[in-house]
Amino acid sequence: MGNPWDEDLKSLASAFGSQLRTVVATIDQYGLRQQHLGKHRRDVEQFFQAIAAASLRSEVAEGYRKRLLKYQDKLFTFLDYDGVPWNNNNAEHAVKGFAYYREVADNLMTEGGLKHYLVLLSVFQTCKYKRVSFLKFLVSGETDIDVFSKGRGERVLPMIELYPDGMESSRPSRKRLGVQAGGEGAMAATALNESADRSETPDWGTHNIHTAHVPGVGMPLSFF
């Protein structure tokens, strides 16, 4: 502490710390539930009433007292809602993603690109806290994370679906589709497979290139 002999400051810090420790003890026992945290609201109001009426001679203590009174409606907001953290650890952790992006994209950022990145970062962090797959949410076409996580409503099937390693799709594979289709499609697929087996470079100019736009992804994905 920078002012070890400041009795006013120590008294103010002790009162605030005691109030906060009582609240944190309830959080440790019951979690961030308004049903249990609401009982501390009266004690918090009495704390602010006490420091508002206090007469402090220390300028440092008086400065902290004014700041506490200025933000008294925001400091203990988590008492009135479920699931609201009492500290800013989540915010500090979330901003690390931007800090990393700033390092790797230094001097390459534009205002438009930065805005798009921050939107995606916000969606990514929200999906992470709600334990929802960020990629699956993007390709689903859904715009509400809560609706997607609960599986309500009719799911919009994406044009391209990705499956984890070891998981087989219930849809016919491209190989089976190529065999069943016959004609030019099967011949093109066979030619590409044989070319890959011989490690030869295929003549891409003889095949048509198609693009598919995945919902939520800015650039089209190309495939043959």
Range(s) of the domain holding residue 93: 89-150
Asked, for residue 136, whether it belongs to a domain, the answer is: yes
pLDDT tens, residue by residue, 79-121:
999 988 888 887 787 778 778 877 877 777 788 888 888 888 8
pLDDT at 220 over 50: no
pLDDT given for residue 104 in this prediction: 79
pLDDT given for residue 170 in this prediction: 52
55 in the same domain as 17? yes
Asked, for residue 49, whether it belongs to a domain, the answer is: yes
140 in the same domain as 75? no
Asked, for residue 165, whether it belongs to a domain, the answer is: no
Long-range contacts of 34-40 (CB under 8 A, 24+ apart): 34/79, 34/80, 34/81, 34/82, 37/78, 37/79, 37/80, 38/79, 38/80, 40/76, 40/79
57 in the same domain as 24? yes
Asked, for residue 1, whether it belongs to a domain, the answer is: no
31 in the same domain as 70? yes
108 in the same domain as 146? yes
pLDDT given for residue 5 in this prediction: 78
In this prediction, residues 9-21 reach a mean pLDDT of 93
